[in-house]
Chains A and B, each alone.
Chain A
């Protein structure tokens, strides 16, 4: 039994660690910046003509913020999907929500670049279609079993992979510009991506606070939820839409980053338990720090090579997935 007091402390510590990691990450790179310099540059604002102003305000800070926001988004999305589908494997990547969103984004980037401003909308619609297919394929009266979730995820991922492949061949001349995006790279995103998504992310987080109670009710099982006077189908639809929205926002900004939605809620559950009052904020903080580490590692470990965070996450996530399987988590 994990006491609520302990859970609170763990969450606060994780948030503090995330902040510290963010400051350290800003300092890392081809130009090393000391922590006092970082702090003074940030405090003085972007109009200050310190030598680090451009590096910090235009390159590192937006990239770090992007990693934090998107990591939090994907992790919350995974935690919510796991409540809704009653299954620890429900991750936006494995289920195909991410690739559904990505296929729709590519339709815009490759085929209709004049509608770039509609990328978040396209990602959302693509994610929703993928989620609908998953429910149609995998939903049984008692929920979704791990096997059906994986199988329908395979089907949806294959379908989206086909769409993506087809688009790549059709528009092969425009392909190089999307390689970074398709592998979940945060490089060269800068303030434009940050501005595109931060409002959506904040809206998603605020709505997530209201989702906590419903997620807690639904994890007791359908019968108990009905018994407590809840409309289970409605909760399921609402929470799924929220989860897809959060995942789609991150796909719109940086493309496909897998496994965070699977790994982070699982680790969070081990640390603070399965009560969403603690699990959701913990997933948020851990998702942020995990993606930040993946991105910072990707750009510093093999410098000057900038390995996309999505690739790093897959390399870490694959083995972790196998580890979960051995531990018989599902």
Chain B
């Protein structure tokens, strides 16, 4: 579905993404994780043509995306940023309607089919009752759902999400991720997302790519990737991997940062509560 080969991105002199490759199959959920500034979001932006890249190829559906027109890509791929600002007085329905825009020629208006898709997107995101409300009147979680609804109205085959849960409380985080999973199950929508929370990445992904300093550190299923060693290497944190009865995915329990303190030669030692 989507194949990234030897991608490199440079900001001025500095290389922020180096020789990065990964692949997502149709219907898969892939999460990109890594420390701050590791280049996770840059990779996603390069795929979504919001960030020019210097080397490498991005192949979407067997075609190099550089050869496709931006509008054609917009019919099949959609990216959602971590924070979106809309004009505050736009109604939920009108915002979602913009998702139909790539499918329309410049003189075309919305037809019955578009309206049906908009209704469907609102229903999927449980926003039918908020249809006429202005975006400004929604809570953070509802607003994020409205943006997802807009993305759905675009009818993409692949959805790119840049930290979709960052500004939300835990209940709304859960809600958004459940929605992503639902869309993935019901429509076999392919999802590539950047996540900060390791447990969320573990629970909701088929595949995880770990990024460090712009390079691919690891790739694999949550079971393969989420190891104590990986967390030590990537985040310099001590952790323990546990399994719980209600989730087959590994769960990460963080212990302390003592090792990290020692490594940088800091005299002050934290006392471990054992």
Q: Which residues of A contact B (CB under 8 A)?
A: 1-2, 210, 213, 216-217, 219-224, 226-231, 273-275
Q: Within the complex, what minimum Cβ distance (angstroms) separates B9 from chain A? A: 14
Instruction: Say yes or no: A275 contacts B94, CB within 8 Å.
Output: yes
Instruction: Say yes or no: B133 contacts A229, CB within 8 Å.
Output: no
Interface residues on B, range: 20 to 34
Of B58-66, B72-80, B165-173, B253-261, the one with at least 4 CB within 8 A of chain A:
B72-80
A228-B154 contact in complex given A1-B89, A2-B89, A220-B98, C-beta closer than 8 Å? yes
Q: Within the complex, what minimum Cβ distance (angstroms) separates A88 from chain B? A: 11
* CA A226 to CA B77, docked complex, whole Å: 11
Chain B, residue nearest A222 (CB):
B50
* CA A231 to CA B85, docked complex, whole Å: 19
CB within 8 A of B134: which of A1, A216, A224?
A1
Q: Which of B114-171 contact A (CB under 8 A)?
A: 132-134, 137, 154
B contact residues around A216 at 8 Å (CB): 98
Residue-wise, chain B 202-232 has the 8 Å CB interface mask toward A (1 for contact) of: 0000000000000000000000000000000
Given A213-B106, A224-B81, A228-B101: 11 more A-B contacts, CB < 8 Å = A1-B89, A217-B98, A220-B98, A221-B84, A223-B79, A223-B84, A224-B98, A226-B70, A227-B48, A228-B102, A228-B154
Instruction: Say yes or no: B75 contacts A1, CB within 8 Å.
Output: no
Any chain A CB within 8 A of the CB of B184?
no
Instruction: Say yes or no: A219 contacts B133, CB within 8 Å.
Output: no
A contact residues around B101 at 8 Å (CB): 217, 228-229
Instruction: Say yes or no: B94 contacts A228, CB within 8 Å.
Output: no
Q: Within the complex, what minimum Cβ distance (angstroms) separates B166 from chain A? A: 15
Q: Within the complex, what minimum Cβ distance (angstroms) separates A286 from chain B? A: 18
Chain A, residue nearest B156 (CB):
A227
CB within 8 A of A219: which of B87, B102, B134?
B87
Any chain A CB within 8 A of the CB of B71?
yes
Chain B, residue nearest A1 (CB):
B134
Instruction: Say yes or no: B89 contacts A229, CB within 8 Å.
Output: no
